[in-house]
Amino acid sequence: MTSSGTPTTPGRRPGTTYFSPAVRIARLDKLSVGREQGALLPDDVLYDVTHVAVSRVNSGPSQYTITLNNMYLSTATDRAGAERRDTGTQPRESAATRELLVKGRPAWPRFKYNDFHHLAFGQRLRIDMRYWPEQSSDPEQPGPTGGGWTPMVAGPITDMKFGFGAQGAELTVSGQDDLRMLQDRPEKRIEMDRATELTTVRRVLECAQFPLQTIARPLVDYPDFVTDDAQGIQEALQAGQTYLNYLEKLGERFDFEVFLEFADLNDPDKGLEFHFEPYRARKSPLGAGRETFTLHRERTLVAFSPTIKVWDQYSSVRVRGRHRDPRIPEEVTGDATDAVIADELHRDPALDPELHSGPAVRARFFPKRDNPQNLPNETNLDPVRAQWRAQVEIRRKARELFSIDGETIGLPRLRPGQHVEIRGMRPPFDGFYYVTNTTHSFGAEGFRTRFSASRPGMPLPNDNGRFDERAT
């Protein structure tokens, strides 16, 4: 079964062959900068894993769940013998159980993880996924390095759910990625003292004592006002507000994404990077260095559910508010039209007809019925930020125009922040969509990846009610 990998040239999405899926789980030490060499859980623990799900989002913390059999699969005698041989591979028995085993008496109940020895709250885990074997059938696209494992998520265990019943016992472990460390709340208000947004983020990370204080290089360039200290704004982190909540609100205001990602998907041990960067949908999926998966109907696209919402689209946006400098007592305004959405309307000219923005689609189906949006009483503005805020609002609403939910074979490298290419559905459904959410599940049903994605535009039918269909 094939799906596309990283384009080597614009417009080319070569295939990669996948075979049997595999998953592994490693313990990690405290979050640190640089390489993190994980220690794999013992084999007999990994053999207990019955289901793994990793949910990633384009902005915010990712989550995971691991379900394990919680019954010993070996007999008491076998375990006692293994301990006498000191193999180090068997789960720890309690002192009372050891005494029973030595005396030849049965130990009951035979629950394996109830004592939190192998899995405990706050323990950091990393989940990796891959296929066997890891070698492409395309000689021009060899398999990745690092054993082919793709790191999916890393972070502490936060919850455990135990189940005991007629079918046996199981444990479901849940956790979040290491953004969880930013969920602490300062006791006092923290002033940011006229700093730019990027400087403010660095100060928040420092106040939170977050180990990853270097912000990774963005995929889309920062707007100038974000990095120019001469254009700083007066912000404050409120007492009782989490550091992460503050960063997410700051990012939402200016259409930035806040997330953690592995420094190298080909090397799980290379560590994590912190990202605070402009919305990545603006980067072309056909550009160099972009990884885009092509999913075909009846081949790799298992399920596909699109939704189109036209009526709520804004025809224009105006933002009004006070100037960021209290010495300038004047109103600041910013305006935006659908022209700014053009850099998110990606298409392959050889395959896709022209795309029209969400506002243009509304104007086509609801002519002469404008839907302007006005946002009054905005704070911390200047002419540049007001203009940017207006653009953010019309972009955000346009992204609601065309959303899709889909399911495909397990693709561990398909993640939020990328584009997915849909083929075989014909207009208006074919084309590129920006992925905002993925859930990778590994269990009895096999390896599956469910995803959500969106596009702020679509092709329009001609006067005869037909779409421009090109070669597919």
Question: Is 411 a domain residue?
Answer: yes
- Do residues 309 and 411 share a domain? yes
How far is residue 71's CA from residue 111's CA, in Å, rounded to a whole number? 5
61-76 burial, b if ≥16 CB within 10 A, otherwise e? Answer: bbbbbbbbbbbbeeeb
pLDDT given for residue 96 in this prediction: 56
- Do residues 363 and 448 share a domain? yes
Question: Is 376 a domain residue?
Answer: yes
- Do residues 139 and 252 share a domain? no
- Do residues 83 and 154 share a domain? yes
The DSSP-derived string for 270-281 is G-EEEEEEE-GG
Question: Is 472 a domain residue?
Answer: no
Which DSSP symbol is given to 268? G
Question: Is 6 a domain residue?
Answer: no
Question: Is 28 a domain residue?
Answer: yes
Handedness of CA 391, 397, 402, 403 (dihedral sign): positive
Question: Is 4 a domain residue?
Answer: no
Residue among 461, 453, 456 nearest 426 (CA):
461
**Residues 175, 156: contact at Cβ < 8 Å?**
yes
State how many domains the chain has: 3
Residue among 237, 270, 238, 244 nearest 259 (CA):
244
How far is residue 5's CA from residue 140's CA, in Å, rounded to a whole number? 12
- Give the distance, in angstroms, between the CA of residue 202 and the centroid of all CA atoms in the same chain: 22
- Do residues 169 and 189 share a domain? no
Which of 178, 200, 232 is where one domain is finished?
Answer: 178
Q: What is the pLDDT along the chain (472 residues), one digit of tens a residue?
A: 333 333 333 444 444 555 688 999 999 999 999 999 899 999 889 999 999 999 999 999 999 999 999 987 665 545 555 544 444 445 555 555 556 555 655 555 578 898 888 899 999 999 999 987 544 434 333 333 346 899 999 999 999 999 998 778 999 999 999 999 999 999 899 988 888 999 999 999 999 999 999 999 999 999 999 998 888 888 888 999 999 999 999 999 999 999 999 999 999 999 999 999 999 999 999 876 778 899 999 889 999 999 999 999 999 999 999 888 878 888 999 999 999 999 999 999 999 999 999 999 999 999 999 999 999 988 889 999 999 999 999 999 999 999 999 999 999 999 999 999 999 998 999 999 999 999 999 998 889 999 999 999 999 998 777 877 765 4
- Do residues 185 and 129 share a domain? no
- Do residues 121 and 215 share a domain? no
Structure tokens at 61: 């913390």
pLDDT given for residue 93 in this prediction: 54
What is the largest distance, in Å, between two alpha-carbon atoms of the chain?
A: 88
Structural domain that includes position 56: 22-178
Which of 286, 318, 352 is where one domain is finished?
Answer: 286
- Do residues 164 and 112 share a domain? yes
**Residues 371, 315: contact at Cβ < 8 Å?**
yes
251-266 burial, b if ≥16 CB within 10 A, otherwise e? Answer: beebbbbbbbbbbebb
Question: Is 363 a domain residue?
Answer: yes
- Do residues 316 and 442 share a domain? yes
- Do residues 251 and 277 share a domain? yes
The DSSP-derived string for 37-92 is --EEPPHHHHTTEEEEEEEEESSS--EEEEEEE-B-SS-HHHHHHHHHHT-S-SPP
**Residues 51, 443: contact at Cβ < 8 Å?**
yes
pLDDT given for residue 358 in this prediction: 97
Secondary structure of 10-38 in HEC code, one letter for each residue: CCCCCEEECCEEEEEEEEECCCCCCCCCC
- Do residues 271 and 151 share a domain? no
Which of 217, 252, 286 is where one domain is finished?
Answer: 286
3-class SS shares of the chain: helix, strand, coil, % to 5:
20, 35, 45
pLDDT given for residue 9 in this prediction: 34
Which DSSP symbol is given to 204? H
- Do residues 96 and 161 share a domain? yes
Residue among 24, 239, 249 nearest 131 (CA):
24
Residue among 448, 350, 343, 432 nearest 395 (CA):
343
Question: Is 467 a domain residue?
Answer: no
Structure tokens at 22: 């595999």
pTM of the model: 0.87
The single residue listed with the structure tokens 């204080």 is 213
Residue among 458, 222, 223 nearest 344 (CA):
458
